[in-house]
Structure 1
């Protein structure tokens, strides 16, 4: 007799593929391999008797059956997770720090991804500098921290590598013969230090004209025409211009984004894996 039930893990894999549009990112989010996710999807499609996902060399998209099944699949996962909670799994809390240079405008959508992974998980998020968050993590005030690379530490898990560039307001002009005006974060800030060291190594004179307490403040100073800032492209509002090549500025390296955590398994770890996969999706664009 054929088992009429659905495999919850296979349903979860399908939902992750639908959310990320990628087998690789779906696998990252559930902490497994791409081949394992593909196999689960095939088993689910065989059980349902329909193709849920159309695969092409460049794109992954849902079939008509996949679109129709997605809402029901999400409802099934929510009911499954609620049932586990009611049957004795106490609500867990995850204290998570995210660097201001990492969070970005996508943070609401990323939090929604974590909530979709586990609606019963209480998520306590703190936004601060990477250095501050790592100190809190070491004091065990945080369960996990997603930060920029901190020199001298090698205990983080690589989430992704993000490009940096020199940005100014559209049409902004540098006055010839004057030092490059910089808008930066307040110390200590790894991106600030990297930008200044890169300019020094290239022999480019500079001066600070604005020091902000957060990325949003630095981006505002850039858009107000105060000067140039080293930032990730996704941090800038529409209208910012990459002026590095026009001004002959040295190229900035890609900076690693790392996850520091003592959590190795369970619901909080699943939520962290989903968040890490979402960050990779955002950076890859």
Structure 2
């Protein structure tokens, strides 16, 4: 690995860094806009050049070998030096990514998502705001965000689809409800779109309801659910640990599957690349 006569192809190094950061050949291929087979070939060329295995790959897991862990910092330094050379003399410019994430989308994988973004580009300053999809879409249209990850709203079909999420009725194991009673609901404050979807489903089914808890975020909804205060309409990915899907048991109407999309307006190459990493990291972190 220390042979000075060896030169490295930057694209093979970039592929290796992406595989390491995203934990997936598939996600790395998405960022580089190529096939999984092409990513595998790039990695093999790099491993052949270095004379060692960098990635240990099984049908279910991708992890760095000992040599891969040792090589990764140098690989990052090489990519940073390349970007600095392209941008002129001096350190690589710091860039800011203003990202909005919907309340009903920001799940437990958010720290992993941010760490992968930061690992891929340590020079990026990430500003994250969590709010309702409707608010974020309006602010995005007023150029207040570089990108937003939101629930696709009615009548709006733009944006890159990241995943489709099934919403269900969640409650604590101790929660009690009998058909015919007024269902106690935990919701976000109006005009939350998921609140509207849940209430519409209940009213269409002729099920009486009462708002028992109004939270300022999904974390608060999870606390109310776990405390046994009410039932909440949540995506499985963000439902609190220990809560149960009680829809069938209580005879509640099914809730829809809703698309989660990424909207962005970045046009320069480096920003678009960071957003591709964001999309791939989100799908990977969400288990898609």
| TM-score, L = length of structure 1 | 0.88
Number of matched pairs: 284
> Could you tell me how far apart the structure 2 residues matched to 1:198 and 1:92 are?
44
Mark the runs of 5 or more structure 1 residues left unpaired by the alignment. Answer: none
Mark the runs of 5 or more structure 2 residues left unpaired by the alignment. Answer: none
1:133 Cα deviation from its structure 2 partner: 0.9
> Could you tell me how far apart the structure 2 residues matched to 1:83 and 1:251 are?
55
Partner of 1:53: 55
1:41 Cα deviation from its structure 2 partner: 1.0
> Could you tell me how far apart the structure 2 residues matched to 1:142 and 1:238 are?
31
Partner of 1:165: 168
**Cα offsets for 1:26-61 (capped at 9, x unmatched):** 222444432332221122112112232344333334
1:215 Cα deviation from its structure 2 partner: 1.2
1:102 Cα deviation from its structure 2 partner: 1.3
2:132 counterpart of 1:132: no
Q: Does the aligned pair in 1 maintain the 2:179–2:250 contact within 8 Å?
A: no
Q: Does the aligned pair in 2 maintain the 1:95–1:142 contact within 8 Å?
A: yes
2:236 counterpart of 1:255: no
**SS of match in other structure, 2:130:** strand
> Could you tell me how far apart the structure 2 residues matched to 1:269 and 1:189 are?
30
Task: Select 1:18's aligned residue among 17, 20, 23.
Answer: 20
**Cα offsets for 1:225-250 (capped at 9, x unmatched):** 11100112332332222222322323
Alignment of 1:137-156 (within 5 A): 137-156=140-159
Partner of 2:44: 42
Once superposed, what is the RMSD of the aligned Cα atoms?
2.5
Q: Does the aligned pair in 2 maintain the 1:148–1:258 contact within 8 Å?
A: yes
> Could you tell me how far apart the structure 1 residues matched to 2:212 and 2:238 are?
20
| TM-score, L = length of structure 2 | 0.87
2:115 counterpart of 1:112: yes
